[in-house]
Structure 1
Amino acid sequence: MSIEKSYNGRCFCGAVEFTLSGEPAAMGYCHCESCRHWSAGPVNAFTLWKPEAVQVTRGAESIGTYNKTPRSYRKWCKQCGGHLFTEHPEMGLIDVYAAVISDLAYSPSVHVHYQETRLPIKDGLPKLKDVPSELGGSGISVDE
C-alpha cells in the first residue's frame, strides 16, 4: 500500500490555503514577459500539476482571477494580493508558484521561454525557446 505524498501551500496572508497531491508533472523556470511582469521578478519558478492534484482547502471565496489571454488564468488572494497559481487549460495543467509551497523540495529541470530572459542563468539545465513540444511548444533549445 503506497501513501500519496501531499504538500501544503498558502497565500502571503494565509487567507487562502491549498493542498497538492502526488508529485508535480514538471518544475522549472519561466522567463516569459508575462510571468516576469506578473511575478514582479526577472524569472518565475514554476511547478506544474494536474488539476485534480490541486485542492483549495481554505478561502476559495478570496481567490481572484485575471486572464490576459485564454491560455492563462492567473489566481491571487483578494485579501493580500499574494499570487497562488495559474491555470493553463490548453496544457491541462496548473502552475503553482514554487515560492508558495511550504514543504516541496524544489528541483527544476528546465528553463522555458529562455530567449526572453532578462536574467541569464548558467546552471546547465536545458534552455528552451518556448515550451516542450509535448505541451504545445516547439521544443527548440537555445544557448545558455
Structure 2
Amino acid sequence: MNNGKAYKGSCFCGAVQFTVSGEPQGMGYCHCESCRSWSAGPVNAFTLWKPEAVQITQGAENIGTYNKTPRSYRKWCKICGGHLFTEHPGMGLTDVYAAVIPDFPYHAGVHVNYQETVLPIKDGLPKMKDLPKEMGGSGVSMAE
C-alpha cells in the first residue's frame, strides 16, 4: 500500500540523504548477533521496504557496502561511518534502520532471532525463534 507519504533520512553527518515512501512491509526488532555487532547495540530496530520505495537523494557516491553473507548487504556512509540500511536480496527487501528516519512513525510488530537475544524485552510483541516462515525461517515462536 502506498499512502504517498515520504520520509527523509540521512547518515550521521548528512552527506548521504534518502527518502522512503509508502508503507514498510514490516517493522520490528532483530536480536541476531550480526545485527547486534553491526549496530553496536543489543538490538536493531528495523523497517523493511521494497527496494523501489528507498531513493537515495544525495551522496550515493559516499555509500559503502559490506556483505559478510550473501543474505545481507550492509550500507554505510564512507565519510562519517553512519549506518544506513541493509539490502536483503533473498527477501527482496531493504532494511532501513528506524533510527535514521526520525520522523517515520515506527511501530514494531515482532521480534526476530529472539533465540540470540542478550536483552530480553517484555513488551507483549511476538518473539520469533528465528524468522517467520515467509521470510525463510522456521516460524517458531518463543515465550517472553
Instruction: Calculate the TM-score normalised by the size of structure 2.
Output: 0.97
Match of 1:116 in 2: 116
Match of 1:47 in 2: 47
Q: Are the aligned partners of 2:10 and 2:17 in contact in 1 as well (CA < 8 Å)? A: yes
Question: How many angstroms apart in 1 are the aligned matches of 2:6 and 2:130?
Answer: 30
* Matched ranges for 1:1-144 at <5 A: 4-144=4-144
Instruction: Give the Å deviation of 1:102.
Output: 2.1
Q: For residue 128 of structure 2, give the secondary structure of its aligned residue in structure 1.
A: coil
- Which aligned runs of 4 or more in structure 1 are off by greater than 6 angstroms? none
Q: For residue 35 of structure 1, give the secondary structure of its aligned residue in structure 2.
A: helix
Question: How many angstroms apart in 1 are the aligned matches of 2:134 and 2:83?
Answer: 27
CA RMSD in angstroms, aligned pairs only: 1.0
Instruction: Give the Å deviation of 1:3.
Output: 5.7
Q: For residue 36 of structure 1, give the secondary structure of its aligned residue in structure 2.
A: helix
Question: How many angstroms apart in 2 are the aligned matches of 1:22 and 1:131?
Answer: 24
Question: How many angstroms apart in 1 are the aligned matches of 2:7 and 2:19?
Answer: 6
Identical columns (%) = 78
Code of the aligned partner of 2:5: K
Q: For residue 141 of structure 2, give the secondary structure of its aligned residue in structure 1.
A: coil
Aligned pair in 2 of structure 1 residues 126, 14: CA closer, same or farther (>3 Å)? same
Instruction: Give the Å deviation of 1:136.
Output: 1.0
Instruction: Calculate the TM-score normalised by the size of structure 1.
Output: 0.97
Can you give the 5+ residue segments of structure 1 that lack an aligned partner in the other structure? none
Q: For residue 74 of structure 1, give the secondary structure of its aligned residue in structure 2.
A: strand
Question: How many angstroms apart in 2 are the aligned matches of 1:106 and 1:21?
Answer: 14
Matched residues, number = 143
